[in-house]
Structure 1
């Protein structure tokens, strides 16, 4: 599996341990997030979740059977013009991705909004 290595060795270990069925989807999502949010630091939190953060946590990835869920911690502040965010909590919203032909434009937009809302 070829991918841009993280500065965090624990993240690289996490990626290396992903099963072959989900790894391509996870890596495509990761590349999309990092392209839209190059300021992010990556870390593993809560034992098995990759988290994208700056001075605070912004996005958490959760790998499930056949899907990767992205939890936007401040998701209610995002303009969801694509209608892809789910949830009814007071702050967080989730984008569930199940195939490599996911809406990359939407994901990049959500990531950019997330970073813009930090300020």
Structure 2
């Protein structure tokens, strides 16, 4: 697998252990997030979820069969001009990505908005 390694060895191990079916999509999403939010730290939390954060947790990745869900912990604060955020909870919103041709502009916009509010 060809990717920019994390500074966190546990994250690198997590990535290396992803299935061959989901790893390419995961790496595309990860690269997109880190491009928009290079100040993010990466860590593994909550039953094998990659989490992006600064002084608090911002985005949690959940790998499922054929999809990756991104949970924006303060997603209610995001202006959703793209109509991709799901959920009706008090704080969190989710984006589900199933294809490598996902809307990168939308994801990067969401990431930037989350960072502006932190």
State the TM bucket, normalised to the shorter chain.
over 0.9
Query: What residue is the counterpart of 1:20 in the other structure?
Result: 20
| Aligned residue runs from structure 1 range 41-52, under 5 A | 41-52=41-52
> How big is the shift at 1:46?
0.9
Relative to the length of structure 1, the TM-score reads: 0.99
Segments of structure 1 that go 5 or more residues without pairing to the other structure are: none
> How big is the shift at 1:89?
0.3
Query: Which of structure 1's runs of 4+ aligned residues deviate more than 6 A?
Result: none
> How big is the shift at 1:5?
0.1
Query: What residue is the counterpart of 1:76 in the other structure?
Result: 76
1:44 partner SS: strand
Distance 2:89 2:60 in 1: 15
> How big is the shift at 1:48?
0.8
> How big is the shift at 1:47?
2.4
1:99 partner SS: coil
Distance 2:73 2:7 in 1: 23
CA shift digits 1:40-62 (9 cap, x unpaired): 00000012100000000000000
Relative to the length of structure 2, the TM-score reads: 0.99
Query: What residue is the counterpart of 1:54 in the other structure?
Result: 54
